């Protein structure tokens, strides 16, 4: 807790200490100590004491001080101290005073605010199985026992962490036998679901700190847990889509194989049709052919102006009637006429009209895109996604049909 000024005042003494005097500084926040102080000291990083060593140390003290205890009560004290001997001794002293040198597990649980820890496990299990109404009832029962909402969420976070840990390493000696058995059962629900619930809980823990009503925020956290546990696993969903896609691909390949023989018969006809198509591009017979012709001749700017700002009224041989989206775009008509004359070597009559005409090409494309989106949303597999993620949107569609 020393300020920088206080540390600077201490420097002279540290550099030339009195004979037979040694200073020992202890801190849990080494980053706050000035480098000038650290450079004049020998630094020792002390590790947290493991639960087994700490438990044996407390039991030895109890024996020397004639304090009787229950084994689980010592385990709870060690766990609450988080590896700090100083905190463990303080808690042991409090428990001995409360129990009259006969430390009981129930008294320690009440002292630490962990009374009814099994209820927290029951609450977590109900959330995992999406039994929301029952989970809220258990949540209310825990509140009635005097446990604060923030502590409940903290306990659920611990359960989620322990279950995930056991799922990976299969065992944990830092838990009592009865608790480990129950946590092991929870771990069988799978790591993806446990990680998802952890993320919901850690977010809820922060929200509770700033919520105007902690009890209400806690109940909302329970509801989110139940909802989150019912969400499908993304990896399983992707597997289903992949299987469906592969099946469709196989069906297409089969049809292509069956049709290959007949395609050979009409190979000459296809070549003729391709030649006819190229000839049509030279003398476009439709508005769409004309747009393709412009792209082929690198008139992309004119093409973009036409598909965005022009409504087709009529298209005849060398005669086009259009309505402009904006009257100021009359230059488009002159450009189109001269460009077509340059490409086809024929004169084209491009006129403006006030008739409504067709929708612009871009408007037609947007209508088609919206129809495709609705078809995709009606697909049973995708419908399941939008059910659980109502805010999801389809931003683009890519057609990957095989040639």
User: Residue 204 falls within a domain, yes or no?
Assistant: yes
User: Residue 375 falls within a domain, yes or no?
Assistant: no
Q: What is the CATH number of the domain that holds 303?
A: 3.30.300
User: Residue 394 falls within a domain, yes or no?
Assistant: no
Question: Could you tell me if 208 and 238 lie in one domain?
Answer: no
Question: Could you tell me if 222 and 134 lie in one domain?
Answer: yes
Give residue 144's pLDDT: 83
Question: Could you tell me if 260 and 273 lie in one domain?
Answer: no
Q: Residue 231 is encoded by which pair of tokens?
A: 């969400």
Question: Could you tell me if 283 and 333 lie in one domain?
Answer: yes
Question: Could you tell me if 240 and 217 lie in one domain?
Answer: no
A 10 A CB-CB count for 303 gives: 20
User: Residue 378 falls within a domain, yes or no?
Assistant: no
Contacting residues for 316 by C-beta, under 8 A, at least 6 apart: none
User: Which of 229, 254, 282 lies at the terminal end of a domain, its last residue?
Assistant: 229
User: Average pLDDT for consecutive 10-residue bins of the chain (403 residues)?
Assistant: 86 86 87 87 87 90 89 84 88 88 82 72 87 89 83 87 83 66 82 87 88 88 86 66 70 58 52 48 76 84 83 84 76 84 84 82 83 78 72 73 51
Question: Could you tell me if 29 and 56 lie in one domain?
Answer: no
User: Residue 393 falls within a domain, yes or no?
Assistant: no
Give residue 27's pLDDT: 87
Domain count along the chain: 5
**How far is the C-alpha of 91 from the C-alpha of 373, rounded, in Å?**
62
Closest CA to 219 of 129, 163, 156: 156
**Contact criterion met (CB below 8 Å) for 202 and 193:** no
User: Which of 337, 358, 379 lies at the terminal end of a domain, its last residue?
Assistant: 358
User: Which of 229, 253, 274 lies at the terminal end of a domain, its last residue?
Assistant: 229
User: Residue 376 falls within a domain, yes or no?
Assistant: no
Question: Could you tell me if 200 and 301 lie in one domain?
Answer: no
**How far is the C-alpha of 197 from the C-alpha of 139, rounded, in Å?**
16
Give residue 236's pLDDT: 62
Question: Could you tell me if 271 and 331 lie in one domain?
Answer: yes
**Contact criterion met (CB below 8 Å) for 58 and 77:** yes
pTM above 0.75, yes or no: no
Q: What is the CATH number of the domain that holds 178?
A: 1.20.272.10
Beta strands in 305-367 (DSSP E): 310-316, 319-324, 349-352
**How far is the C-alpha of 194 from the C-alpha of 162, rounded, in Å?**
10
Question: Could you tell me if 286 and 342 lie in one domain?
Answer: yes
Q: Supply the DSSP symbol for 233.
A: P
**How far is the C-alpha of 2 from the C-alpha of 185, rounded, in Å?**
49
Domain carrying residue 252: 234-265
Question: Could you tell me if 193 and 132 lie in one domain?
Answer: yes
User: Residue 46 falls within a domain, yes or no?
Assistant: no
Question: Could you tell me if 126 and 223 lie in one domain?
Answer: yes
User: Residue 177 falls within a domain, yes or no?
Assistant: yes
Question: Could you tell me if 309 and 209 lie in one domain?
Answer: no
315 bridge partner residues: 320
Give residue 58's pLDDT: 92
Give residue 250's pLDDT: 66
């Amino acid at each position: 807790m020393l300020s920088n000024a206080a540390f600077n005042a201490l420097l002279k003494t540290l550099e030339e200490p009195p004979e037979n005097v040694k200073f020992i500084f202890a801190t849990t926040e080494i980053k706050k100590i000035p480098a000038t102080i650290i450079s004049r000291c020998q630094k020792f990083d002390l590790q947290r004491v493991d639960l087994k060593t700490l438990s044996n140390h407390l039991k030895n003290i109890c024996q020397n001080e004639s304090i009787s205890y229950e084994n689980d009560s010592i385990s709870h004290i060690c766990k609450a101290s988080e590896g700090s001997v100083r905190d463990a001794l303080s808690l042991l002293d409090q428990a001995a005073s409360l129990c009259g040198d006969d430390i009981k597990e129930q008294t320690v649980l009440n002292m630490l605010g962990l009374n009814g820890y099994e209820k927290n496990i029951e609450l977590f299990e109900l959330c995992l199985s999406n039994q929301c109404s029952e989970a809220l009832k258990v949540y209310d029962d825990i509140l009635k026992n005097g446990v604060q909402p923030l502590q409940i969420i903290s306990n659920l976070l611990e359960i989620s962490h322990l279950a995930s840990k056991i799922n990976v390493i299969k065992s944990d000696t830092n838990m009592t036998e009865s608790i480990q058995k129950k946590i092991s059962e929870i771990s069988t629900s799978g790591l993806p679901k446990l990680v998802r619930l952890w993320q919901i809980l850690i977010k809820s823990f922060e929200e509770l700190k700033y919520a105007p009503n902690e009890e209400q925020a806690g109940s909302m956290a329970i509801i989110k847990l139940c909802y989150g546990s019912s969400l499908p696993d993304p990896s399983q969903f992707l597997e289903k889509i992949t299987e469906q896609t592969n099946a469709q691909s196989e069906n297409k390949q089969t049809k292509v194989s069956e049709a290959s023989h007949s395609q050979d018969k009409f190979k000459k006809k296809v070549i003729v049709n391709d030649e006819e198509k190229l000839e049509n591009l030279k003398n476009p017979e439709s508005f769409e052919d004309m747009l393709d012709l412009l792209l082929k001749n690198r008139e992309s700017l004119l093409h973009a102006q036409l598909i965005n700002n022009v409504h087709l009224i009529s298209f005849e041989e060398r005669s086009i009637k259009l309505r402009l989206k904006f009257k100021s775009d009359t230059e488009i008509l002159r450009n189109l006429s001269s460009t077509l004359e340059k490409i086809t070597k024929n004169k084209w009559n491009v006129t403006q009209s006030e008739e409504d005409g067709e929708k612009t090409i871009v408007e037609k494309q947007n209508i088609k895109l919206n129809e495709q989106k609705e078809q995709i949303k009606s697909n049973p597999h995708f419908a399941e996604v939008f059910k659980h993620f109502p805010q999801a949107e389809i931003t683009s569609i890519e057609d990957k049909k095989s040639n």
